[in-house]
Structure 1
Amino acid sequence: MSLPTILVADDDRSIRTVLSQALGRGGYQVRTTAQASTLWQWVEEGEGDLVITDVVMPDENGLDLIPRIRRIRPDLRVVVMSAQSTLMTAVKATQRGAFEYLPKPFDLKEVLAVVARALATPATPVQPLAPAQPDEQMSLIGRSVVMQDIYRIIARLTTSDLTVMINGESGTGKELVARALHDYGRRRAGPFVAINMAAIPRNLIESELFGHERGAFTGATSRVAGRFEQAAGGTLFLDEIGDMPPEAQTRLLRVLQDGEFTTVGGTMPIRANVRIIAATHRDLRQAIRAGTFREDLYYRLNVVPMRLPPLRERVEDIPLLARHFLNENAEGAGSARVLDDQAMAQLQAYRWPGNVRELENLMRRITALHPQESIGADIIAAELAEASNTAPPGEGAGGGTAETLAEAVERHLRRFLSSGQDGMPLSDIYDKVIAEVERPLITMTLAATRGNQIRAAAMLGLNRNTLRKKIRDLDIPVVRGGA
């Protein structure tokens, strides 16, 4: 029995070499090319059991090949890889019929797992969606691993009406994800209707959701359609679902079970033709234990759980986000602002209790209040300090409860100590934890001294040579020319 053959197309020689070696060791035959035209020739000739293709190649976009491959060889699965690690890339790959999307840089173990799964999955007819045409400048931005996972989940859900539960802290972008699920999904031609449970008085929530008939209560002078009717054919986004009162939870559960509802004061059932996406910043399992949220409703809503990471868990995305928000506000400010290395390092060292929303507000404020083109660490430090000083007592700049340094370290250590692989304890914990504390400490001290290493060493109580060694060992960016 011959070994499966993998066709690899990528214009990067090093990528072709790495994949060829890894797949060869995995027990596959491999053919590689830098040209989309050569890959197409092989496919036409009936070669290959699986295709792995890059998106950007010299002669053709790899995404454009997928529908053509599907037409002549519907059983041939295609895995797309790309350094353009955006939501649009993941969605387009899925819409055109790709089996899987892998952002670069990729993990070779994951590649081998995807290849094995693709070859083992029975061939089924795929009906690619017509391409969606929403604004490609969406605010879901990030190239971190956690954001790539979110993009892939959104892409996989474009062909489904499954109920989704989004969990994340305030300011992480839960409504943006809900809108993306709608804009790229099967119901995108229908309306997207959002309702925030925390913003509606408890006695009005049922009327807001299901509508009411004339005379249903004092002041109901005419029939009013609720959000379920308004969202017919589209998506209903139930934001802050954890704040829904118990009586409304019971009615919502009945709608999810029966697929129909009645208006307040009405008797005729109405078919619920909506896709439900819910979101919360609360721990609903804790709310279930406390008796404030129905367990049966939780399981009805939590069909596809999605966790949005706080900004502090994806600091590598901060430069992309900051530049995006600065450019977004550049037109009204007359010219674009640029963050220098120290300013960017300080942004990445900050905890961001208000998450992406706090970063967006900071960039707006800087654009409006600071006319200079280059923004340094002193401006960032002053703005962050001002935001903290104007926050309500007991809260940080992002609105979260104040946290002592010891509490923050303890919270981080709980995650750190539980992250061992295969149940085995981590090694060199002391050095790793000290390094994690040292980097932001030194980075922010250098920012406060505008790169002056003599002053920074004095503030830290370190010898200047010791500070230089730590800067080098921890790969901390510094402003050249600082004394």
Structure 2
Amino acid sequence: MSVLLVEDDTSIAIVITAALEAEGFVVTRCETLAERDRLLAGSRYSALVTDVMLPDGDGIETLGAVRDAYPAMPVIILSAQNTLDTAVRATDTGAFEYFPKPFDIDELARTVRQAIGTAGTAALAGEEPLGDGLPLVGRSATMQSVFRMITRVLRNDLTVLILGESGTGKELVAEAIHELGNRRTGPFIAVNTAAIPAELIESELFGHEKGAFTGAVARHIGKFELAASGTLFLDEIGDMPMQAQTRLLRALQSGRIRRVGGVDEVELDVRIIAATNKDLEPLIAEGRFREDLYYRLNVVPIHMPPLRERRDDIDVLARHFLQLAASEGLPRRQLTPEAAEILRRQSWRGNVRELKNFVYRLALLAREETIDADSVFPLLASDAGAAAEPAGTAPDLDSAVTRWLTAQRLAPGTVYGAALAAFERPLFAEVLRETGGNQLRAAQTLGINRNTLRKRLSELALDPEEFTRRS
């Protein structure tokens, strides 16, 4: 079995070739589109593995002719342009798989074997151009997993459950699936099930007939019918009342709904995407969420990572939001590398939504076109004060470290030593206070050598006698 590898990065090509040859493939490598076309014309290949950005052109743009000429040959695309748009363009070519760099080399080798074994069946194939992607921004490995999951559900109507903390962009994922998928010509109806009073949620979702209850003075069409031929996005599904869960389950099972107070059933033609910021399994154990509904919704789960798990995306997200702010009439700003690094170090407990709001404030309040560290620090300090822990809650060490770093303005190369001293000083003081200044007991409590403790106390200018006197 022979594989044609189109890759102009020699180091990557060597690793890929070794992995494929270990699987028993014969690998022919070239570096340009012109060489690719010449080799394809002269030989038969079991699979094509190609990069996108090549010296003489875009590997995706030219794949249409390759697919037409060699329809049985599976294509696997590699790319360092790790955006949703690239992932969608790759799937639009009929590619068997798309791998954002860096990728697992063993997974690539397994995928090549699988692709050849299925005779080039385009697992991610589509027939129509998809258009532009939505502003789901990120090049981190976790976001690449999200992009790849999105591409897998564009050409089907499988129910999707999007999981993630508040502010991570769950609705953006739902919109992307709708706008890039088969139902993009239909409506996208979003419903926050947590914002609708429990007594009205069935009417909102399924509609009601005139006279169905007090105040029902006319027929009301529910969200399911409004979303006909399109997508219904049920946000905060974990907060849906149990009675509404039962009716939703029945609708998903039967493909029909009945308006409140009605007799006739209405056939459904809608894709369901649900989202929640809660862990549904404990709710199931507590009897607050139906297990059968969970399995109906959780056909294709997509996990949206919190921003603290994709810090590499913070810089590109911040610059993206500055562009959005400018398009909405705010002053056009630029972010210095130092300012971007400060943003990257923050915890962003409100995730992407918090970062977006902060960047918009920066765009509005910054005095200069270029936003530097001096512009960022005052706003961060203000936010840290406003976000202080409420009385009675446990302190958040991550947030404390973030606030400390924000306030220090430390020189490069001094951060670790200063942070270690800032942490050890109150820690040692508290333990010495508890042990009445007894260094042996303090060392045992801390789990360190007594001489190490004595040395650090001296370096930190902490006098154990002070704690003896206080006790």
Counterpart amino acid of residue 37 in structure 2: W
Residue 234 (structure 1) aligns with: 230
| 1:34-69 alpha-carbon deviations (Å, 9 max, x no partner) | 121322233344421110011122334221333323
Q: Distance in 1 between matches of 2:200 and 2:350?
A: 29
Aligned equivalent of 2:107, options 107, 110, 116: 110
Amino acid at match of 2:95: A
1:217 is aligned to: 213
Q: Percent identical across equivalent pairs?
A: 46
Any idea what the Cα deviations from partners look like across 1:220-246, whole Å, max 9, x if unmatched? 222121110110001100000011101
Kept in 1: contact 2:332–2:363 (CA 8 A): no
Q: Could you tell me which of 384, 394, 409 is aligned with 2:380?
A: 384
Q: 1:360 to 1:403 in 2, by over 3 A?
A: farther
> What is the Cα deviation at residue 251 of structure 1?
0.5
Aligned residue in 1 for 2:96: 99
Q: Pick from 451, 458, 468: which aligns with 2:411?
A: 451
Distance 1:282 1:175 in 2: 15
Q: TM-score, normalised by structure 2?
A: 0.83
1:338 aligns with 2:298: no
SS of the counterpart of 1:329? helix
**In the TM superposition, what is the alpha-carbon distance from 1:72 to its structure 2 partner?**
2.7
Question: In structure 1, what is the Cα distance between the partners aligned to 2:61 and 2:27?
Answer: 22
- Counterpart of 2:443? none
Task: Work out which of the residue numbers 281, 287, 290 in structure 1 matches 2:277.
Answer: 281
The separation in 1 between residues aligned to 2:178 and 2:73, in whole angstroms, is 29
Residue 131 (structure 1) aligns with: 129
Would the alpha carbon gap of residues 453 and 258 (structure 1) be closer, same or farther in structure 2, given more than 3 Å must change?
Answer: closer
Alignment gaps of 5+ in structure 2: 423-471
Contact 2:377 2:406 in 1 (8 A): no
Q: 1:82 to 1:388 in 2, by over 3 A?
A: same
Structure 2 CA distance for partners of 1:346 and 1:403, relative to 1, 3 Å: farther
What letter corresponds to residue 31 of structure 1 in structure 2?
T
1:189 aligns with 2:185: yes
Alignment of 1:77-476 (within 5 A): 77-124=74-121, 128-134=126-132, 136=133, 138-330=134-326, 332-341=329-338, 343-391=339-387, 394=390, 403-405=394-396, 445=405, 448-449=408-409, 451=411, 461=421
AA aligned opposite 1:297: L
Segment drifting more, 218-227 vs 358-367: 218-227
Q: What is the CA–CA distance in structure 1 between the aligned matches of 2:58 and 2:202, rounded to whole Å?
A: 50
Deviation at 1:385, TM superposition (A): 2.8
Give 1:455 deviation, angstroms.
10
Aligned length, in residue pairs: 420
The whole-number CA distance in structure 2 between the counterparts of 1:323 and 1:76 is 40
CA drift of 1:164 comes to 0.5
Q: Shift in Å at residue 23 of structure 1?
A: 2.4
**What CA distance in whole angstroms lies between the structure 1 residues aligned with 2:380 and 2:188?**
35
Q: Distance in 1 between matches of 2:380 and 2:212?
A: 50
Q: RMSD of aligned C-alpha atoms?
A: 2.7
**TM-score between the two structures when normalised by the length of structure 1:** 0.81
C-alpha separation between the residues in 1 aligned to 2:418 and 2:288?
53
Summarize the alignment of residues 24-103 of structure 1 with structure 2, pairs less than 5 Å apart: 24-103=21-100
Name the aligned partner's letter for residue 128 of structure 1: G
Mapped partners of 1:96, 1:199: distance in 2: 41
User: Residues of 2 paired with 1:402 and 1:344: CA distance?
Assistant: 31
Higher mean C-alpha deviation, range 243-252 or range 220-229: 220-229
Name whichever of 22-31 and 45-54 sits farther off.
22-31
In the TM superposition, what is the alpha-carbon distance from 1:16 to its structure 2 partner? 2.8
For 1:133, give the aligned amino acid.
G
Secondary structure of 1:131's aligned partner = coil
2:182 and 2:420 mapped to 1: Cα distance?
Answer: 57
- Would you say the 8 A contact 2:325–2:332 is kept in 1? no
**1:114-150: per-residue Cα shift (whole Å, max 9, x none)?**
222222234447762311224x4x3211111110011
Give unpaired runs (5+ residues) of structure 1: 396-400, 410-436, 463-483
Q: State the alpha-carbon separation in 1 of the partners of residues 27 and 418 from structure 2.
A: 59
Structure 2 equivalent of residue 481 of structure 1: none
